[in-house]
Amino acid sequence: MRNFNAFTLAREALRGHKGWGKQWRSPEPKKSYDVIIIGAGGHGLGTAYYLAKEHGITNVAVLEKGWLGGGNTGRNTTIIRSNYLYDESAGLYDHSVKLWETLSEELNYNVMFSQRGVMMLAHNVHDVQSAQRHIHANRLNGVDNEWLTPQQAKDYCPPLSISKSARYPVMGAALQRRGGVARHDAVAWGFARQASAMGVDIIQNCEVISIDRAPSGEVTGVQTTKGPIGAKKVGVVAAGHTSVLMEMAGVRMPLESYPLQALVSEPVKPVFPCVVMSNAVHAYISQSDKGELVIGAGTDSYLSYSQTGSMHILQHTLDAIIELYPMFSRMKMLRTWGGIVDVTPDRSPILAKTPVPNLYVNCGWGTGGFKATPGSANVFAHTIARDEPHKINAGFTLERFRTGRLIDEAAAAAVAH
Amino acid sequence: MLLIHCPYCEAERPELEFANAGEAHIVRPKDMSQMSDEDFEAMFFIRDNPKGINLERWRHVHGCGRFFNAIRSTVTDKFLKTYKAGEPRPSGDEIAELMK
Ligand SMILES: Cc1cc2nc3c(=O)[nH]c(=O)nc-3n(C[C@H](O)[C@H](O)[C@H](O)COP(=O)(O)OP(=O)(O)OC[C@H]3O[C@@H](n4cnc5c(N)ncnc54)[C@H](O)[C@@H]3O)c2cc1C
Ligand SMILES: [Zn+2]
């Protein structure tokens, strides 16, 4: 693997960029591995990277039914923040934001992490109280978050309408300055490149169709479209398809899979300096470096694996966008798409051991797991390597739905990205 | 947007008139306080979430207001059938017949 630096970039610029070569290997699967990760999204690739880097476990395969990064990792609106209400969540998401801050250097790959600030609007008294409660809770946990008046919100984001005659007038906002966006593909590619260089086999177009277990119960490997592959440990990191995979090992999950959509506009000059979210009217927006407005919509109300979503969901979001930013009313939308998100009852992820020995699961990120990619991967690698959770993910168990020890961000936020 | 047949109104209506109400045929116990934690978890939190045929509840909120059940594919999003609340859970054979 060639490092990216000023010298190699200059040299390749002079040679027409012909000398770069493949960024990761595409090997055939070996007979068996110490660890198999199912799913080459950011969380799965990151897990393989940290297994190799921090735990010295390099005999690892990441199996992907499609192409690397083609799941939700490549379909999301890339909002990154850590201002969640509960202590467990603040710990996990802020661990992630801290890793984001140095990830480009760590991976020698520009993940384009841009801390342009994430502002969450309040449109009614309930929103204001909830935002202020979050701000106080966040501060106690050492997570930055501050209250802005409507005028301060407009100063931070000039396209925002704070007109009192708006249908849902802006009554203030919570701003996390360390929040922002990153380049989604680059995160998958950066982790893949480094993991591959340390010996991890990334095997694309390889769907897991069943999970093998010994008579005594523990997992021994998987059956795939490329044949059987043995494994001492298996980690399921398959987002919307987690229930399907866990069923193969006989574990029923507290998950439901829904389509979630996003869309981008035609590219325009820089007009939108930050990320703005509004839970009440359900619209969130930022501008990509290419100039497109990146707009997140909501989930459909029914289970689906179809990776599309309904038109009326998009329309509802655009209604809200135009109300908040009247200047975008004549923008043309270029593309829309959907991803399948796995939602838990408390809207917090599950990052844990399972009732089946040697089987681990990282799921339930629902509509908001991109921001957690490095943090989740980091503590999940620890969980697999040591066969016990890191203290940061100790609360994110599967058993919490039995014991009642929920991490109820669902009640705290209604929606969360 | 889905077109949904309400078995009470006996009419096809746009999805906007309906609300999805989750997995069908989950029986609420008569005395929840007597349930074991395992049974409560299974009833309240664990879901089939199938990739394929799903049995689910819908409510015709902006119509007759009533709950009913549906058999729908989560791969194609197509409805195979809707039926009134209280009717028995369709058998595997019946679903296979509908899929022909
Ligand atoms: C439209 C949209 C907008 C979003 N916006 C945001 C946002 O702004 N901020 C945020 O933080 N989060 C957001 N999210 C959520 C975020 O995208 C996800 O939580 C996160 O990317 C999940 O990463 P992952 O690596 O776990 O899953 P994925 O990237 O989906 O990877 C899972 C992989 O598993 C593979 N797989 C599944 N089954 C099998 C099998 N049987 N065998 C082999 N491989 C299999 C899939 O093909 C897939 O590549 C959004 C999601 C969507 C859909
Ligand atoms: Zn009706």
Q: Strands A333-343 and A256-265, how do they pair?
A: antiparallel
Asked if pLDDT for residue A8 goes beyond 50, the answer is: yes
What is the value of pTM for the model shown? 0.97
Mean pLDDT for chain A overall: 96
What pLDDT score does A416 carry? 46
Q: What fold is seen in the domain B3-27+34-99?
A: Folate-binding fold (3.30.2270)
Q: DSSP letter for A387, please.
A: S
Q: Which A positions 389-408 lie with beta carbon below 8 A of chain B?
A: 401-404
Joined together, the tokens standing for residue A255 give: 């998950």
**What are the sequence ranges of the domains in chain B?**
3-27+34-99
Q: Do A402 and B41 touch (CB under 8 A)?
A: yes
- Whether residue B51 and residue A302 make contact (CB cut-off 8 A), yes or no, is no
Contact yes or no for B1 and A253 at CB 8 A: no
Q: How far is the CA of B92 from the centre of ligand 1 (A)?
A: 32
The DSSP 8-state label assigned to residue A391 in this structure reads: G
A75 alpha carbon to ligand 1 midpoint, in Å?
A: 7
- Give the ipTM: 0.96
DSSP characters over B40-71: HHHHHT-----SSEEEEEEE-TTTT--EEEEE
Task: Give the integer Cα–Cα distance in Å for B96 and B100.
Answer: 7
Percent of chain B having pLDDT more than 90? 94
User: In the predicted model, is pLDDT for residue A413 greater than 70?
Assistant: no
pLDDT tens digit string along A18-38?
989 999 999 999 999 999 999
Which tokens hold the place of B50? 């199938």
CA distance A103 to B16: 44
Chain B nearest C-alpha distance from A112 (Å):
35
Question: Would you place residue A216 in the very low, low, confident or very high pLDDT band (cuts 50, 70, 90)?
Answer: very high
CB pairs under 8 A between A and B: 68
Residue of A nearest to B23 (CA): A303
Answer whether A116's CB lies under 8 Å from A181's CB: yes
Ligand 1 centroid–CA A391 distance in Å is 24
Residue A417: per-residue pLDDT: 44
- Testing ligand 1's pocket by substitution, the residue of A72, A116, A184, A185 carrying the most ligand atoms inside 8 A of its CB is A72
Ligand 1 atom 39 nearest Cα: A65
Span A97-156, pLDDT tens digits: 999 999 999 999 999 999 999 999 999 999 999 999 999 999 999 999 999 999 999 999
Specify the pLDDT at position A412.
61
In what order do the strands lie in the sheet containing A146-148?
A146-148, A172-176, A118-122, A275-278, A283-287, A293-299, A256-265, A333-343
Q: What is the mean pLDDT of residues B67-72?
A: 98
Tokens of A235: 């980690």
Closest Cβ–Cβ partner in B38, B42, B49 for A255:
B49
